[in-house]
Every structure is written in structure tokens, then in C-alpha cells.
Structure 1
Amino acid sequence: MPPSLTSSRPHRERESIKLSETIHRFRPSKSFSNISPGAEITSLDFDDRGELCIASADDETLQLYDCISGRHQKTLFSKKYGCHLAKFTHSSSNIIYASTKGDDTIRYLSLHDNSYIRYFKGHRRLVNSLEVSPVDDQFISCSADDTVRLWDLKSSNCHGLLNLPSPSLAAFDPSGIIFAVASQASSSIMLYDLRNYDKAPFTTFTITDDAFLSAYSYPPRMPQWSKLEFSNDGKLMLLGTRGHSHYVIDSFAENTSKFLYRVLRPRGFTLPEKEGKETSGSVCFTPDGRYIVGGQGERGVAIWDTNKQPDEKKSLLPSWDLVENVRTQASVVAFNHKTNLLATAYKEAVFWLPEQHAPDPPQSPQR
């Protein structure tokens, strides 16, 4: 049996926001064009209070937005080292982010005075996943150097090291006791107890989908994995990809060789990407855990309702497509865990809010 998921209360509390009456009424409310022409936003994150949003872009800037006033607050530059996967710590004035040039150091930055608090050195290739614990100052990083490292903000030295096939993705469960590592090279998701991370994973899920994918490519090939996330109750995991399908996994499943079901984007869909460029993910759970939100490039945003039953092929189609007035592609998505605010990004950042009198969008056809 997995370790307990309820022995501590997360600091970054995932409050239950009732979205069943509003999720299909989200519309673009404010867009921000603060990055250089031709540049792309590669990550989005909200602070613990849901008041700020940080975006990293491949023009080597960090963009800070005020979610309360709906305004751009400041631009910070990281021209010497580049920046990617910017994440708030439990302080709204501090972030960590991965370097993209010069070295592969993780940097701990004060947004207040744009000064570095600490450097976390050890990775020898690009960091492609960075996640902060929901309960304390620990964080986890994955790199193309085939390592997963555990850190504490108070020390420059990593206190845990795993050697796993790369590339990898990582995620903490809501209690901060369990962390998951996804390795596409081995087609697996491994669950670890943080208190015994140096031991073998207590559960390993094998994720393969050859029968379905054979209809899209030959030989059947899983799309590039891009996001790993737990639902707010820890019972489900969401494995996002850059292709037309994402995967939902039962965290407590006894049959670890199968996923629960896949959620589908339009046939043949592929997100825009630059060679070698990762994002923080184009899909995520809503804070109540019921819905999955995913960017669809020029087709806007799709909403999947996990309360609905997948079809006989283990596929779940979108319940709604939110495409009205969308002027930009959505290759990165993040949902504010404190308020009814959705953020998407590609060449600009867009805040979405529910409009009370917005007409219902047409439901996606059940193909």
C-alpha cells in the first residue's frame, strides 16, 4: 500500500473551487504582450496566495503579473544564464528557475530586488522538470543528465540523488510525502516515499498505448511526455504529452501495466515547439480535481470532465472547446489554485475568467 496521503496539510493548499457551473463560461479577459517579438513563453506558475503569476520566456526574461489587478507588474532579465521553469517558493517574493545557457545551475532569486539568494549546482545538462514541495522548502529537479535531485532551499547541496533514464518529469503528491518520476525512455512512472527515496520505488506504472497509437504513427510511438501532475486528492495522476492524447492514471491501481483512460485532442494535433525547447505543460487539473484543462494551439482550450465515463476504447473526449476570441495559441496552461483564473500562454500570456452571461460554447462532438 502507498504511504499515507493525509498525514500533513499542504501549505500550498489546493482549495475546492466549485467550477461545475462556470468552467464552460471561461473567456479571455486580459492578454499581455511583454516579451520580445517572436519569443515564446515556456512556463507559468502561481504563488501560494494566488495573487501573482510568474512566466519565463525564451527571450531570457521573467514576467511577473498581478492576478488581483490584472496587470503586468515587472520584467526581470536573465540574459547571462537564460531562464526556464520558474517556480514560486512558499514566499511570494522568491522564485527558483532553471538556467538554459552558461551552465545548468538552478537559481534562487528574490523578485523584490532582483538578487540571487542561492545557487543549486550539480546537474550537467538542461533541467527539464522543477517542482516545489507543497508542504516545505524541499524541491525536486530532473535533468537530461539522467539524474533526479532532491534539494532544500536552505542548502546549496542536494540531499538526494537518483540515476534514472532521461528525460524525466517529477511531481509531488498533495501531502508532500510521495513524489513521482516519469521516464519516457523506460515507459514508466515510479512512485517514491520521500522518507525512503534511496530505496526502490514502491509502485511502478508501465505506460504503453501501442494499439491506439498505431492508428496515428508507424511504428506506434508515444508522443513526447511534457507534464506530470497529481489531482488535488492524490488519487489520479495526469501525464501530459505534446501529441493528441494525454493519460490519466489511478495512483492506487493494482494493475500497474495499464492507464485508466486517455483524454484526446483533435486527430493529428501537435503543439508548436522549437527544437529542444520544453514547456511547463499544456494540460493541468483544475483545483477541484474534476476537470482537465488543455491548450489546443490555434483551437483554443479544451475542457475534459473526469466525472464522465470514457468510451469502450478508454478515450475521453472534451466536454467543451473554449475558442471564442482566442487570438493566440495556448501551448502552456496553469490554473490558479485560489481563484477562478486560468492562464494560458504562447507568444503572449492570457488570463481567462468566467463570464456570468456568456453563451454556452458548443459541446465537443463525440467522435
Structure 2
Amino acid sequence: MTSSVPITENLMKSFQASKTFKYHKVDSPITSIDFDDSGQYLISSGVDESIQLYDVNKGKHSKSIFSKKYGVHLARFTHHEKNCLYASTKEDHTIRYLSLHDNSYLRYFRGHRAQVTALEMAPVDDVFLSSAYDDSVRVWDLRSSACQGFMNCKAPSLISFDPTGMVFGIGSNNTNEIGLYDFRNYDKDPFATFDINVNMNWNKLEFSNDGKYLIVTDAANECHLVVDAFDGVIRAKLIGTKKFPNRNYPSTGSTTISPDGRFVYGGSGNRSVMIWDLQEIQKDDINKQIFPCKELNSDQGLPRMCLFNPRMLTFATADTAVTLWLTDSKNSMI
């Protein structure tokens, strides 16, 4: 039986690599990982055209689902148990809504004219956003195959909902801009636009759990940005990681935020996971350099992607294998 435990600084720094799953094709890049709302299940997708499902609570691999005809990228859980979305990589650019229970397709979302680059479920309902190399962001509802909204962008973009689901951000390193939108009026111009004049290759945009910051992750892993979500000022640069070896396939980003919103975890090219403490940021800081307050060492593979579990004291890393990281309170809820 699980029980809640208080989140402390020592606890958040005590993670250890616990179990590694090697169910994707050997040495085949994994491109996305995602937890479901309950935290019990994890999925990964890769260039081997498979989705792998894991039971986090039991520490076991559950099943393999293949999409050889269409390819697979950006597998994302919906709010419905064992249902997911994923982007096609072959034949067309359709987003597919899949039941992992019986491997049946529930719906198709057609409209993008180029490869989908991001999929994000709204935090509290059945709406989701997608962006693609056709320089567009689309709004969808799981209950209808029809596109609910369309936005032209200047370049391929990343997307992120704030914790309330009332605001979402669209950002791109091609324009060095982040625009914030009111979801109730997504057909209007952004209510705020931030210029981010830092030369880096973005591959993840994420609101902190308290909505205070936006974390912009650098694919080159040279530094990650902490942007004030209210005024767009770069409050801090998270540094101290080693570069990842180059590869030709995208990933869903090497940083993740702890449930209390205090710590950022990020993979490093030396196979470690770095932890940065956002409490080091003071009210008037600008471009403050923050070094890791803790380095978690592992020989379980490269942590090119990093994602925190929404409910349980665990996080996952992935590159060509998936690793779960646990604390001594591995059976506790947060």
C-alpha cells in the first residue's frame, strides 16, 4: 500500500538508478518517454517503430506495440487509462489515438502537412496541442477528429501548458521567441511575447509546477534557461553538464522538474544526472549561473531524456534503454 511522504531536500537528492529496461531494438534511439497521470505506467517510443509499456509500480515491462506501417514518435498518455497519442513518421503526418489495452485505434487526427514535432495534453481535460514542421500549431479534442483550432507560426515550435491549463506557451529557437496564449482565446495574438536572445538549440519547453518559470532545454546540453513566466526575463542559466554524443534523431528533452517545483533534474553526457536548486534564484537575478547542487552517478546508460513521475518518487531517463531512478521511499506517493 502506498502512502504520502514529505518532500525534503535530502530525499530529492537521494535517487539512484534502480532498473534498466532494454526492450527497444539494440542500440536503437528512443525518442520520447511519458508517464500516465497515476504514475503507474510509463511508455517509450523509438525509431525501431515501437511503443514499449512499463508498469512502474511493479518494475516490469508490460508489452510491446509496433507501428511498422506508420512509424512512431512522441507517444503521450491521455487522461484515459492506457490510451495514448502518437505521431506518425511514415506515409502521412496523422496523429493516432491508440488503446494500449487491445492495440486498437480510437481516432485519427489529420491536418498537419509535415512531421509533428510536439504533442501536449492539457492538464485537466481532453484537449491537446500539436506542432509540426509545417510551421503550425493545432488544437484538438480527443472526442472529435476535426481540428478545433489552427495557428500559423513563423517556424517549427515547441509547446507547453501551464499547470492550470488556461495558458500555453509556443516557443522556437528559430525566432528566439516565446509567446504566451490564453487558451480560451487561442485564435488571438499572444498576450505576452518574450525575446530569448541566447544562441542554443531548443528541444523542450516546460512550465514549472508552480507556473513561476519556463524551463528551456538545450539539445546541445551546454546550458538550460530559467525564464520568468511573468516578465520573460532570463533569471538563470543552468550549467555544469557535459555534451551528449551527436545523433540524428530528436528527443523530448533532457530536463525535468521535481513535483515541488524546486529542483530541475538534467541528464549529462558523462552518464550522470545533475540537480539544480531553483531556490538559488533571487528576486532580481538576471542570467545568474547556477551549478548543480548534486550529481547522481549511474552506469545504466546515457540520460539523454529525463522525466519525473507525476505521482510517485521516481523519474525515468532514456537514450537506447529506459532507466528508472528510485529513492529509499520507492513505494511512496508524493
What TM-score do the two structures reach when normalised by structure 2?
0.93
Instruction: Specify which of 31, 36, 40 is matched with residue 20 of structure 2.
Output: 31
Between the aligned partners of 1:313 and 1:140, the Cα distance in structure 2 is 30
Offset, 1:274: 2.7
Offset, 1:334: 0.6
- The reply on whether 1:231 has 2:208 as its aligned counterpart is yes
Residues 173 and 200, structure 2, Cα contact 8 Å, conserved in 1: no
Counterpart residue type for residue 161 of structure 1: F
Report the counterpart of residue 182 of structure 1 in structure 2.
171
- The reply on whether 1:115 has 2:104 as its aligned counterpart is yes
Residues 143 and 166, structure 1, Cα contact 8 Å, conserved in 2: no
Counterpart residue type for residue 246 of structure 1: H
Between the aligned partners of 1:308 and 1:102, the Cα distance in structure 2 is 48
5+ residue gaps, structure 1, are: 1-14, 210-221, 357-367
Instruction: Specify which of 275, 280, 283 is matched with residue 308 of structure 1.
Output: 280
Between the aligned partners of 1:298 and 1:95, the Cα distance in structure 2 is 32
Residues 174 and 232, structure 1, Cα contact 8 Å, conserved in 2: yes
Report the counterpart of residue 293 of structure 2 in structure 1.
319
Between the aligned partners of 1:272 and 1:302, the Cα distance in structure 2 is 17
Change (3 A) 1:107 1:19: farther
SS in 2 for 1:175: coil
Change (3 A) 1:156 1:148: same
Offset, 1:49: 0.6
Change (3 A) 1:264 1:193: same
Instruction: Specify which of 234, 237, 254 is matched with residue 282 of structure 1.
Output: 254
Between the aligned partners of 2:79 and 2:108, the Cα distance in structure 1 is 17
Report the counterpart of residue 245 of structure 1 in structure 2.
223
SS in 1 for 2:279: coil
Between the aligned partners of 1:280 and 1:16, the Cα distance in structure 2 is 29
Residues 169 and 226, structure 1, Cα contact 8 Å, conserved in 2: yes
Between the aligned partners of 1:160 and 1:203, the Cα distance in structure 2 is 20
5+ residue gaps, structure 2, are: 330-334
Instruction: Specify which of 171, 179, 184 is matched with residue 160 of structure 2.
Output: 171
Change (3 A) 1:238 1:16: farther
String of CA shifts for 1:153-193, please: whole Å, max 9, x gaps.
01111111111022200001111110100021111000000
SS in 1 for 2:184: helix
Residues 52 and 92, structure 1, Cα contact 8 Å, conserved in 2: no
Between the aligned partners of 2:99 and 2:162, the Cα distance in structure 1 is 26
Between the aligned partners of 1:53 and 1:312, the Cα distance in structure 2 is 36
Counterpart residue type for residue 307 of structure 1: Q
Counterpart residue type for residue 341 of structure 1: T
Report the counterpart of residue 341 of structure 1 in structure 2.
314
String of CA shifts for 1:89-124, please: whole Å, max 9, x gaps.
001220001111111110000001001001101111
Between the aligned partners of 2:286 and 2:161, the Cα distance in structure 1 is 31
Offset, 1:270: 2.6
Give aligned-pair identity as a percent: 45
C-alpha root-mean-square deviation of aligned residues, in Å? Answer: 1.7
Between the aligned partners of 1:245 and 1:80, the Cα distance in structure 2 is 38
The runs of 4+ residues in structure 1 deviating greater than 4 Å are: 310-313
Counterpart residue type for residue 223 of structure 1: M
Which protein is richer in strand relative to its size? 2
Report the counterpart of residue 126 of structure 2 in structure 1.
137
- For 1:235-274, list aligned pairs within 5 A: 235-243=212-220, 244-253=222-231, 256=232, 258-266=233-241, 269-274=242-247
Change (3 A) 1:291 1:51: same
SS in 2 for 1:113: coil
